[in-house]
Amino acid sequence: MQKWRCIICNYIYDPAVGDPDSGMGPGTPFESLPDDWVCPLCGAGKDEFERVEE
């Protein structure tokens, strides 16, 4: 699944892991995260993320 990187702090959102602290279980694609979801490390919004090219 497509990973996304926070351009502010370099946190990688891995859909396989999700963001359980925010209630986003494993398997949640980045696109399905709610619009008000923020980077769990630095608090940046979804629009501060870019695709990780593998």
Partner 1 sequence: MAPVTLVPDVYWVGAKDPGLTVFDIVIPTKYGTTYNSYLVRGTDRTALIDCVKRPFAEELFRNISEILPLTKIDYVVINHSEPDHSGALAELLSRHPGVTVLLSRSAKTFVDNLVNAGFRYRIVNDNEEVALGGKTLRFINAPFLHWPDTILTYLVEDEILFPCDFLGAHYSSPEFFNDELAEPEKARKAFEFYYGAIMRPYKEHVLKACERLKELPLSMIAPSHGPILRKDPRSYLSRYEERASVLSRIKDKKVAIVYASAYGNTAAMAEKVAEGVRAGGLIPVLLNSVEVPMDKIIDELEESAGFLIGTPTLNSNIPYPILQMIASLVVLNVKGKPASVFGSYGWSGEAIKTVQDILTSMRIKVTPEPIRVRMTPSEADLKSCVDFGKQFAEIVQGA
Which residues bind to partner 1, rule: CB under 8 A?
7-10, 21-22, 40-42, 48
Cβ neighbours of 26 (radius 10 Å): 11
Distance in Å, CB of 40 to partner 1, minimum: 8
> Which residue number, 5 or 30, has a Cβ lying nearer to partner 1?
5
The CA distance from 12 to 4, in Å, is 6
Distance in Å, CB of 8 to partner 1, minimum: 5
> Which residue number, 7 or 29, has a Cβ lying nearer to partner 1?
7
> How far, in Å, are 22, 25 from residue 47 at the CA level?
17, 21
